[in-house]
Amino acid sequence: MRLSVTSADVSPFYVLQIAFMTLTLFPIRLFFAAFMMLLAWPFAFVAAMGRTGKELEQPMSWWRKFFDITLKVIMRTMWFAGGFHWVTVKGRQALPAEASILTLAPHSSYFDAIPVTMTMASIVMKAESKDIPVWGTLINYIRPVFVSRSDQDSRKKTVEEIRRRAHSNGMWPQVMIFPEGTCTNRSCLITFKPGAFIPGVPVQPVVLRYPNKMFLPIYTPSEEEKRNPALYASNVRHVMANLKPEKLEKELKQFSESAKKRNGEKINLQEFAEYLSLPVMEKLEDLFALFDEKEESVIDLREYVIALSVVCRPSKTLETIQLAFEMYQSETDKTIVEEELAVILKTALGVSELNVTDLFRAIDEEEKGKITYVDFDRFAALNPHFAEMFLYPNMMDSEPCADSCPVTAPNGFCTDFTPEDMEEYHKEQKKLN
């Protein structure tokens, strides 16, 4: 829901109230917050004096604990002066030995630093920040991972440092990372960067919800997620976005059953809106246009369900294809023909044209002119790189997907395949020509 405020909604009294508070209360709050930051400086300076790496192997001394608690109280008072009177925390923060990395989202403003000051966890920051008066001393106290813009290898060094701390068995303070990598408007969680997940250790997701923050249970990666940081990042993002797998599967099943009943009968924009229980609006029209390639003002609902499954389950391509088979297959022998396989793979891969003739013939060994999902699944298991062999044969000679991906997906599709990869491929082809 979007709430718009017009000038008619703001009363003259409210405007006077804002003006009065700006001239009276705001300067007091600003002064008090600045005073708290200045007060924290000597405590941070003394607490960081003479600190060595060997001290991490031993429990924190009593006087450092005193300074640490004092700093947390001072910074909490600073936020109180800034208007954050009550911060509700749900869940329990894991110990460094349990989860060495905390992933926070959504990231929307400088106020997201509140969890940092409440936990004194390390963060990833620009190296230039340590030279800022007062602020730099506070930053150095939490032992951040510094990133240098002038160093070309800085990104690689940052990843290695995070990995080193993550595998220290809890000796280093936890590293707090915003995996989105940028600020958003908090309406959704954008794709997570894989940096926080490259070490392959358990992480604790932390959801920021003004006025609350929530520590979710520790997320321990599977062996497949350890090998594939992009998959690990995607699954943690789903957990933080409250996308429950069982609920998602149920809803996709309902969508597919509804689409299957139409038996290929196409629908117009108004019917599409009714199907989604949404009003006809600009964004819905744009979505409708994605599937109306021939501009006939009608779409096949099955293509929408396939695309929805790809978006919701990006790492489960074979399950998406199985769902598509169930919608397209005949009721009698559960088979599909070549044209239907082309539509399924074209929609799943998000391309406008795709030649599947060679792939279909390879699967259809008995030359029946039709295949079942069992046939497709058996072929995919025997030929894990079938996408490279039959769908992108030209790429095999120049830059195979398996060489460009950190881990080759078990379904034959490249897990990190992006439009940028295709762009680089075309550039390389031009050079060769």
What does pLDDT average to in each consecutive run of 10 residues of the chain (433 residues)? 40 86 90 91 86 62 86 92 85 91 89 88 86 84 85 85 91 90 79 90 89 77 89 83 61 85 90 86 87 90 89 77 92 92 87 85 92 92 82 51 38 36 41 37
Q: Is the peptide bond preceding residue 279 cis, with omega within 30 degrees of 0?
A: no
User: In terms of domains, do 120 and 26 share one?
Assistant: no
User: In terms of domains, do 209 and 262 share one?
Assistant: no
The predicted pLDDT at position 104 comes to 92
* 304 burial type by CB count under 10 A (0-12 exposed, 13-18 middle, 19+ buried): buried
The predicted pLDDT at position 421 comes to 39
User: In terms of domains, do 216 and 299 share one?
Assistant: no
The predicted pLDDT at position 282 comes to 85
Task: Report yes or no on 4 lying in a domain.
Answer: no
pTM value surpassing 0.95: no
Task: Report yes or no on 196 lying in a domain.
Answer: yes
Sheet-wide strand order for 122-126 = 88-90, 212-215, 203-209, 101-105, 175-177, 122-126, 145-147
DSSP 406: S
User: In terms of domains, do 311 and 214 share one?
Assistant: no
How many distinct structural domains can be found in the chain? 3
C-alpha 175/C-alpha 166 separation (Å) is: 8
The predicted pLDDT at position 152 comes to 79
Task: Report yes or no on 261 lying in a domain.
Answer: yes
User: In terms of domains, do 405 and 427 share one?
Assistant: yes
C-alpha 431/C-alpha 372 separation (Å) is: 42
Which of 31, 64, 85 represents a domain boundary (last residue)? 85
CA-closest candidate to residue 174, choices 224, 116, 221: 116
The predicted pLDDT at position 255 comes to 85
Number of other CB atoms surrounding residue 43 within 10 Å: 19
The predicted pLDDT at position 360 comes to 93
CA-closest candidate to residue 309, choices 295, 320, 321: 320
CA-closest candidate to residue 114, choices 192, 39, 211: 211
Task: Report yes or no on 204 lying in a domain.
Answer: yes
Which of 223, 242, 261 represents a domain boundary (last residue)? 242
Task: Report yes or no on 201 lying in a domain.
Answer: yes
Helix axis angle for 301-312 and 338-349, nearest 10°, is: 40
Task: Report yes or no on 3 lying in a domain.
Answer: no
Task: Report yes or no on 8 lying in a domain.
Answer: no
DSSP 299: B
C-alpha 198/C-alpha 145 separation (Å) is: 15
171-to-13, 296, 313, 403 alpha-carbon distances in Å: 56, 63, 36, 36
User: In terms of domains, do 101 and 205 share one?
Assistant: yes
Beta bridge pairs of residue 103:
177, 205
Torsion, Cα 242 245 250 253, to 10 degrees, reads 120
Task: Report yes or no on 199 lying in a domain.
Answer: yes
| Domain, as residue range, for 134 | 87-242
Contact predicate 179/105, CB 8 Å = yes
The predicted pLDDT at position 59 comes to 64
User: In terms of domains, do 205 and 354 share one?
Assistant: no
C-alpha 336/C-alpha 230 separation (Å) is: 33
C-alpha 41/C-alpha 47 separation (Å) is: 10
Q: Which two tokens stand for residue 352?
A: 């406008």
User: In terms of domains, do 187 and 283 share one?
Assistant: no
Which of 226, 242, 258 represents a domain boundary (last residue)? 242
User: In terms of domains, do 54 and 125 share one?
Assistant: no
Beta bridge pairs of residue 214:
90, 207
User: In terms of domains, do 78 and 180 share one?
Assistant: no
The predicted pLDDT at position 319 comes to 86
Q: Which two tokens stand for residue 203?
A: 């992480």
Number of other CB atoms surrounding residue 220 within 10 Å: 12
User: In terms of domains, do 39 and 57 share one?
Assistant: yes
The predicted pLDDT at position 7 comes to 42
User: In terms of domains, do 182 and 268 share one?
Assistant: no
